[in-house]
Amino acid sequence: MQFRAVCAFPVFACLSAGAFCAFAAETVVVEEIIAKVNGDIITRSELDRDRKTLQMELQQRAGLKGPELVSEVEIRSKDGLRERIDGLLLVSKGKEMSISVDSELSKYIADLQVQSKITDPEKFQSYVREQTGMSYEDYKNEVRNGMLKQRVIRDQVGRGVNVPRADVQKYYEEHKKEFVREERVFLREIVLSAEGKDPAGVAAVEKKAKDLVARGRKGERFGELAKANSESGTKDQFGELGGFKKGELDKSIEALVWSHERGHVTEPIRRGNAFLILRVEDHQKEGQAALEDVENEIMEKLYTPRFQPKIREYLTQLRQEAFLEIKDGFVDTGAAPGKETRWVDPAQLKPETVTKEEVAGQRRRRKLLWAVPIPGTSKSPKVKPGVSSSK
């Protein structure tokens, strides 16, 4: 087993002839291993880091604080070990299946570098460290493992979950009130800044905007274009702006998009020191939505509740097949029923001794066993009817 963290202690070695090694210093624990999963490990520091990350997310995104924050962190942290084990099992399965995500990873890193506008490799790696708190290689490995896990789930679980159209039709008929709509237009945006640029620089930005419009109209994914090129805060959401009712948009913008259907891409729109490009993602009409207009929405509603339990079933199966040991005091909330995961401490194993006479006796017994005929096999003596086999 290859360990990512080891215990270190000073060793004083006597190098003269006939001397022996002596451990003269007290052992200092650098890292505590909590669980062993196939050929990998989970450490206490990883669980502690996950807990801190969870706390920060709850503070920043959910606005929790004080006792409420402490309580929520405590509740969610109970699944921390489970999620770590889930991840290692999926990555291990992906490697076993020889799944490669190298091309996706290279594209992701290249896109990230384009967005950062940092061309120097060393400076880009420093930027990654500053943004993530991880080394560049560790970050790449984290992204690679995330992609690997998604592929395994998609290939091994997702393809086996189906939503028959009859179920979609039934849901639509039983929940028609959910699909009575106000008229709305759904938009994505790309924003290119011309702030501080001279006339030539502004012209260059406008040319880039026109090129992006052309690419969007030819069928390139507008969201991907936004992710790679937009300078708006919406770029991380692939330029998504959401839906707007009549009167909620600036009148000049509304006039450019309201009469158009899904897929329309505007010309570059000059807005102060920036150029704005909009795409109509959907134009929802007023009244009862037709089944074909909401079919994908219904499929998603029905798919997710069926998909999640299947993922857990698959992860339980992977646990049954895996080598898994968990230290006392820690709980895997996704444990497979009946699976023995008790931690075996090598220091507690008792050595067994066998004498030469016992070994010789075992050999004699094996020879005798092979000499005894097994009924119903070719080694049993054949006896003709009416003929005795005894001499």
pLDDT of residue 346: 66
Domain annotation for the chain: domains and CATH numbers = 1-156+323-356 (1.10.4030.10), 183-285 (3.10.50.40)
Q: What is the pLDDT of residues 317-351, one digit of tens each?
A: 999 999 999 999 999 999 999 999 998 876 665 66
pLDDT of residue 365: 52
pTM (2 decimals)?
0.63
**256 contacts: CB under 8 Å, gap ≥ 6:** 266, 269, 278
Of 321, 250, 287, which Cα lies nearest the Cα of 93? 321
pLDDT of residue 114: 84
Of 303, 338, 314, which Cα lies nearest the Cα of 324? 338
pLDDT of residue 236: 84
Task: Copy the structure tokens of residue 3.
Answer: 């360990």
pLDDT of residue 357: 66
Question: Cα(281)–Cα(223) distance, rounded to whole angstroms?
Answer: 10
Under a CB-based contact definition with an 8 Å cutoff, are residues 35 and 326 in contact? Answer: yes
Q: What is the pLDDT of residues 122-164, one digit of tens each?
A: 999 999 999 888 899 999 999 999 999 999 999 999 988 999 9
- Average pLDDT, 10 consecutive residues per value, the chain (391 residues): 34 38 55 92 94 91 90 94 96 95 93 88 94 91 95 93 94 94 94 93 95 95 93 90 93 94 95 94 90 91 93 96 95 95 73 60 51 47 44 42
pLDDT of residue 3: 29
Residues linked to residue 274 through DSSP beta bridges, in sequence order: 193, 271
Q: What is the DSSP letter of 28?
A: B
Residues linked to residue 283 through DSSP beta bridges, in sequence order: 185
pLDDT of residue 143: 95
Q: Taking each helix axis from N to C terminus, what angle separates 136-156 and 102-116, rounded to the nearest 10 degrees?
A: 130
Cα Rg, the chain, nearest whole Å: 33
pLDDT of residue 352: 59
pLDDT of residue 291: 93
Residue 190: strand, helix, or coil: strand
pLDDT of residue 371: 47
Residue 226: strand, helix, or coil: helix
Question: Cα(301)–Cα(294) distance, rounded to whole angstroms?
Answer: 11
